[in-house]
Structure 1
Amino acid sequence: MGVKRRLPAISYVRLENFSIYRERPTVEIDIRDGVFCLAGANGLGKSSFLAAVNFCLTGIVTHPERDSFSSMRKFYQDSLSYSRTFFDGRIAELDRDSAEVTVHFTVGRRKYELTRNLFEPQSLRELIVVDDAGQVLNQDTDDDEVRHQDYARLLVEDCRLSKFEQFVFLQHFLLTFDERRHLLFWDEQVMTPLLYLAFGIDADDARLADELTHAVNRAESRRRNAQWQATSARRKMKELGGDAVDESLLDGLLEQHQALSEAVDQATKELTKLQRDAADARLDHANASAEYQSLKHQYDHLFTRRLRSRSAPRLHPAVAESLKTERCSVCGTHGHQVALNIEERLDTNHCPLCASSFTPETEIDTSIDSLKEVDSELAEAGEQVKAAQARRDRIDKEVDAALQVYNDKVQQLEAFDTENEKTLPTVGSGLVGLLEQRRVAESERMHAMERRDEWARKRDTARRELEPLQKALRVAYDEAEVDFVPNFRDLARQFIGLDLDVFLDKADRTRFILGLEVQGTRRRATTTLSESQRFFLDIALRMALVQQMTEDETRSTVYIDTPEGSLDIAYEAKAGAMFGKFVFSGKNIIMTANINANQLLRRLAEVCRSENMQMLRMTEWATLSEVQASEEALFDEAYSVVESILKSAAPTEGSVLA
């Protein structure tokens, strides 16, 4: 039997200064075993909640438009830069330093408590790891980066993996079905490394298989590129004519030049983006300042009018001071009688100074309310000015840094061109004769053929090293098939109600897939299934893989941003039953769903009841749109229906899932 992994089971989440939840920026949630459902409405930040939890666990957020997957290590490294800016706009500028996410979870018998700032992918602000005896396992340090490294080391050990990148990969590609709607069934690049981990291959061997698969495909790609370069050079030689010359260029110069050119292009894009952001930040600051000045002028106008009003002698500075100090501000007489005399005249609507009568005006109270209202708006506008200024200052610094990087890259490219101008002449410049062009083309062809053969040797070497690992995977799958396939069938049948089968197949010489068979017909393309079938069968596959790869007695959590919009009414209840089947196998789900009248949440509530399901309403976290607010009673009604089902007497598992 292969290695059984252990994966995190979440028990607590706290979001602090999470500005996207404007009405409740600090949220604290205890999560029980079973189903935790965050129920809300469109646009309130349900997907951002899952992203924040995943960011705390892994330090990254997956780019929704990522390029094709090549290796776990490269995926992790490439995701770091995107993750550092993902929460820009979701978190207010003045909350950047204090915006944090805290997660508590267990892996096996160890308990983890960690806190991560939402802009620090490779740092942890707090970490506590304790065993079942209460002993703290992480080292005592004030270094946030060391704390993250300590976390990664302990977590990998507990999950029975060999690298943190493996955990990141599993968390984002297996355990999480989010708004990207990524499908495992039809992605052999992701499926291949996942299968090694899911079917119990030793973690070091799984990592080696991932690296060798990447090496084989990289070598094959470069072999094809070299062959194309040799063919292009041969074609160029025929066009030029002349005698062949056995002369070679310096190895790798073209690749170096391309790399330097790409670095300049990337630096240009980054600088341009930041310059646009800086322009936007300056405009936002100018608008915020203008709004602040407008409100200040309005406040000054109201205040001055109030002071000058004959209807408010009590508020005159001289009168107010005399009442407060019991000393006449005009003649200097001191004593309690001074205040009493002033109060007597004011109470009879006479001026304390000249004894003239006055008529109180009802607009006084109105002016006080107006002052308070404008003062509140002025304070809020002042905070917006501070935030806009802070954002402008931060982006200006980033522009300066990006400009320095751009200048450095341009200088490197210019220096390279100057150093190699004779070796890499410009065709058509008039400086290189026909014969010299012929010699360069011949050299390029010979060089390309050498590179082609070298990359072919590297490819074949990696393939030979990979073959024993591929055989080990086939053996592991054959041993696990007796449990894995029935588990998948049971879960998928809850949803689709059809006979299904799943089988291990080779996509090419290095990659594997799990093929899908529906009613005896193999479905090799996504177009052969409806959208809802694709989504929920893929979720069923993830659930079956989690059941297969983890210990039966340990909990683990999967994360589902429910694609309920793809379901028709016939399948809504079926999807809820499938989720319930997974929970009753001893695993956990954290899911998001819209509060509506569909059957998914109702059926899930019927299956799980309050003993195995929590539902938290998030419509009070963020500001509803005008349309949503006008129909809030509909949210209340739908929520109450599910709540009443949760609180009713729990049926047996079999009676509901049958």
Structure 2
Amino acid sequence: MESTRISLPKLIYFEINNFSLYDVSEHKITIDFMKPAACIIGANGLGKSTMLNCINYALTGMINQPGRKVRSIFEYYRQNKYYNEYFEGRIQEKDRDIANIKIVFSIKDCKITVVRGFYPDNSVIHFECSNDKYDRYEDAVVSLMGLKNFDQFAFLQVKVLTFDEERECLFWDPNLLTSTLYLTMNLSPEIAEKADIIQSNVQKSNSRIRNLQFEINKLNKRIETLTSELIEKPQSDTNQELSDTELKEKHEMLIEGLEKAENDYSLARSEYDFLISVISELTAKQHLVKSEYDNLYKTLFNSNSAVDLRNSPIISELLHGNCIVCDTKGTDIWKASEEKILMNKCPLCESEILHDNHNHDEIMLRLEEVDNNLQQINAALEEHILKSARLRGLMESSSNYIEKTKLEVMKIEQSSTYMIINDGEDSGDIRIRERIESLRRAALEVEIDKNDQIVLRDNLMDEASDLHKLLTNSYNDARKHFLPKFRTLARAFTGLNVDIILNEVIVDAKKMLAFSLSMEESGRKYDHQLSESQRFFLDIALRMAIVDYIADNNYEGCMLIDTPEGSLDIAYEANAGEMFAEFINRQHQLIITANLNSSGLVKTFANKSGSARFNLINIIKWANLSTVQSERMPLFTEALKDIEAAMKSGEDNR
């Protein structure tokens, strides 16, 4: 299949009518998105996040559902009806029939207008397109973007082009990341759709296999119990037995824990191996630097120059009036020594001091540099050795947990402790044998079904593996253009050289790609090793790099960011603003939310953009303010003036 580069939408105009959450006399809110940067700003709880969600609802007809996992793009879009629940309370009963939302945007050079209602459903009630070949909104979007279906657009818009209040990190979610890379790393949308379907079917098939094996274990246990009744009939302690449902839940919980532990062990092993190689390199470097230090030190005190001679420990003592040979002390000693040095003679043997070309100051300076370098190497070695020791412990505990859990799983699968309920029937040998035979036939039928599912799953996994190779190759081809984009954005935020390392992980028989970070000399970084602000804004940098790679200077891309200011360190506020400015400098569009009480980021972004490119959208004028918020209006007004001044200053400096 021919590879392709998709196109992205750019927002132009937004309108929301009779939306009860916002208090406006005209019952209409309009926003012009013609400038590349827009900031929806206000106090907490006034509807900034809701505004971003409404934009996505207008575009896709869906709202991102909190806590909902994306098992496949198809299921994520088709089975998401969360918008019904989301708009309850935001739209009053009196406005349900008349509330609607309108958005105007462009894809390539084509202008699209779409209007949706909120009730009774999310259907499009009006559609216009500057290209009259399209009769349906969904067809226009899919065709112009170069996608296979509208599901793919909805996934990209809501999960990739938007960083919302749920704070889902694409960077550290292999499932989301793999689906994203299939759509964005220059593979055809047909391949992305096929991979999505196959991977979903792999997981479903694997789940069926587990359920069938569970059923087989249950039948076999019943057979064992009935067989033992032919010999003896022991009293069972039913109080110690679990119900079918409880045992199945325990089995599934153990399987999930086992998969997580194996993945944790694999990641820890990968990082440990990396650290060992770094420790080896640092140790070799340490030996070289130590050797240089020793040589410089010897040179310093073996020199015959008068200056270097003064640094000799013996001569230094003489010059301080102490003879370490005969233990005599006094001013005559240092005076006699000083006179001889001035006469270019050695104070001890009176030999003539030769003047070589050694520069004492240069040696001392180099010695100090080498000493600082050695201290840095020693500190890095200590850090890496401590970290490797911790990882060894983590791998050991993970390994022990894996072995223990495997035994528990095997115990459940081989001898399930299901209760055999006495139904009051005759338990004679003939009846028992009939029941055993019936159970064996049932177990055989389930075994056949399970084997069929294994063949199906393995075939699907082979297909998925072939597609995965295509994705890996496509990413490796793209990385020479994609990674520099990410590095520039990530450095703007962190101030560090950041790189991406590609890994493979397998969860529930599904093979996926995962990223880990390398941050200068810090070793690999996973989400639990980074601060919250680092994790969020590096994830935003990844999304921005993906948009920049897709656009590739042909068409602009647009991102929506519900800015995670609450997690942002004060020291990073300006850096985040710099990163946002860098994104729009690449000819893209960025719509963010921000709180007035945390405007360091916004002021930097506004100053770097200038008033000609920055649209400040004050949501306070549309909101129902609390008493406390109303009393703080002078503070809000002053904060807005500061941002507006930053915008003007930025424009004046352009």
Could you tell me which amino acid in structure 2 is paired with residue 101 of structure 1? I
Residue 84 of structure 1 and its aligned partner are, at CA, apart by 2.3
Match of 1:115?
Answer: 115
Is 1:232 the counterpart of 2:218? The answer is yes
Could you tell me which amino acid in structure 1 is paired with residue 178 of structure 2? T
SS at match of 2:12: strand
Deviations 1:456-514 (A, max 9, x none): 1111111122222111111111111111111111101111112211132x984788889
Q: 1:442 to 1:557 in 2, by over 3 A?
A: farther
Q: Distance in 1 between matches of 2:100 and 2:153?
A: 22
Match of 1:552?
Answer: 553
Deviations 1:583-613 (A, max 9, x none): 1111111111111253101110111111221
Match of 1:82?
Answer: 82
Match of 2:328?
Answer: none
Q: 1:155 to 1:655 in 2, by over 3 A?
A: closer
Q: Distance in 2 between matches of 1:525 and 1:446?
A: 50
Match of 1:40?
Answer: 42
Q: Distance in 1 between matches of 2:65 and 2:531?
A: 25
TM-score by length of 2: 0.62
Q: Distance in 1 between matches of 2:564 and 2:144?
A: 32
Q: Distance in 1 between matches of 2:16 and 2:128?
A: 24
Residue 222 of structure 1 and its aligned partner are, at CA, apart by 1.6
Match of 2:57 among 51, 55, 58: 55
| 1:213 and 1:510 in contact (8 A); partners too | no
Is 1:94 the counterpart of 2:94? The answer is yes
| 1:161 and 1:203 in contact (8 A); partners too | yes
Q: Which moved more, 1:478-487 or 1:459-468?
A: 459-468
Residue 186 of structure 1 and its aligned partner are, at CA, apart by 1.6
Match of 1:483 among 478, 481, 484: 481
Deviations 1:50-76 (A, max 9, x none): 11111111111111121xxxx011111
Match of 1:573?
Answer: 574
Q: Distance in 2 between matches of 1:460 and 1:510?
A: 19
Match of 1:586?
Answer: 587
| 1:185 and 1:515 in contact (8 A); partners too | no
Match of 2:188 among 202, 205, 208: 202
| 1:532 and 1:567 in contact (8 A); partners too | yes
Q: 1:507 to 1:595 in 2, by over 3 A?
A: farther
Q: 1:237 to 1:210 in 2, by over 3 A?
A: same
Q: Distance in 1 between matches of 2:636 and 2:477?
A: 49
| 1:192 and 1:513 in contact (8 A); partners too | no
Q: 1:24 to 1:444 in 2, by over 3 A?
A: farther
Match of 1:496?
Answer: 494
Q: 1:237 to 1:6 in 2, by over 3 A?
A: same
Match of 1:539?
Answer: 540
Could you tell me which amino acid in structure 1 is paired with residue 537 of structure 2? F
Match of 1:372?
Answer: none
Match of 1:214?
Answer: 200
Could you tell me which amino acid in structure 2 is paired with residue 635 of structure 1? F
Q: Distance in 2 between matches of 1:152 and 1:487?
A: 31
Match of 2:149 among 148, 151, 163: 163
| 1:229 and 1:445 in contact (8 A); partners too | no
| 1:356-375 paired onto structure 2 within 5 Å | none
SS at match of 1:620: helix
Q: Distance in 1 between matches of 2:5 and 2:519?
A: 24
The answer for unaligned runs of 5 or more in structure 1 is 122-137, 142-146, 245-253, 255-425, 431-437, 649-653
Q: Distance in 2 between matches of 1:120 and 1:448?
A: 51
Match of 1:461 among 454, 459, 462: 459
Q: Distance in 1 between matches of 2:540 and 2:434?
A: 59
Deviations 1:408-443 (A, max 9, x none): xxxxxxxxxxxxxxxxxx95443xxxxxxx766765
Match of 2:12?
Answer: 11
Residue 242 of structure 1 and its aligned partner are, at CA, apart by 6.6
Match of 2:619?
Answer: 618
| 1:147-162 paired onto structure 2 within 5 Å | 150-162=136-148
| 1:19-38 paired onto structure 2 within 5 Å | 19-21=20-22, 25-38=27-40
Could you tell me which amino acid in structure 1 is paired with residue 170 of structure 2? L
SS at match of 2:597: coil
Q: Distance in 2 between matches of 1:491 and 1:576?
A: 11
Q: 1:446 to 1:5 in 2, by over 3 A?
A: farther
Q: 1:553 to 1:449 in 2, by over 3 A?
A: farther
Could you tell me which amino acid in structure 2 is paired with residue 4 of structure 1? R
Is 1:180 the counterpart of 2:166? The answer is yes
Deviations 1:556-590 (A, max 9, x none): 21100111011121011111111111111111111
Deviations 1:633-657 (A, max 9, x none): 1101110011011112xxxxx9999
| 1:625-644 paired onto structure 2 within 5 Å | 625-644=626-645
Q: Distance in 2 between matches of 1:223 and 1:546?
A: 39
Q: Distance in 2 between matches of 1:95 and 1:215?
A: 42
| 1:492 and 1:500 in contact (8 A); partners too | yes
Match of 1:73?
Answer: 74
RMSD across aligned positions (CA) = 3.2
Q: Distance in 2 between matches of 1:637 and 1:441?
A: 83
Q: Distance in 1 between matches of 2:513 and 2:204?
A: 12
Residue 236 of structure 1 and its aligned partner are, at CA, apart by 2.3
| 2:41 and 2:594 in contact (8 A); partners too | yes
Q: Distance in 2 between matches of 1:76 and 1:97?
A: 25
| 1:8 and 1:556 in contact (8 A); partners too | yes
Could you tell me which amino acid in structure 2 is paired with residue 207 of structure 1? E
Q: Distance in 2 between matches of 1:517 and 1:216?
A: 38
Residue 519 of structure 1 and its aligned partner are, at CA, apart by 3.4
The answer for unaligned runs of 5 or more in structure 2 is 121-125, 231-247, 249-419, 425-432, 503-508
Match of 2:469?
Answer: 471
Residue 553 of structure 1 and its aligned partner are, at CA, apart by 2.2
Match of 2:288?
Answer: none
